[in-house]
Amino acid sequence: MSDVYLFYSFVLVVCFYFFALLWFFILVFGFSSFDFSLFVLFFGFNLFFCNWLVFLTFTIKWLLWRLS
Domain count of the chain?
1
Domain membership of residue 20 as a residue range: 2-67
- Which amino acid makes up residue 40? V
- Cα 43 to Cα 46: distance, rounded to the nearest angstrom: 5
Q: What is the pLDDT confidence band of residue 65, given thresholds at 50, 70 and 90?
A: confident
Query: With left for phi above 0 and alpha for psi between -120 and 50, is residue 65 left, alpha or beta?
Result: alpha
Asked whether 46 and 18 are in contact (CB, 8 A), the reply is: yes
Q: Is 30 left (phi over 0), alpha (psi -120 to 50) or beta?
A: left
Residues 1-50: tens digit of each pLDDT: 567 777 777 777 777 777 777 777 777 776 665 566 776 777 777 777 77
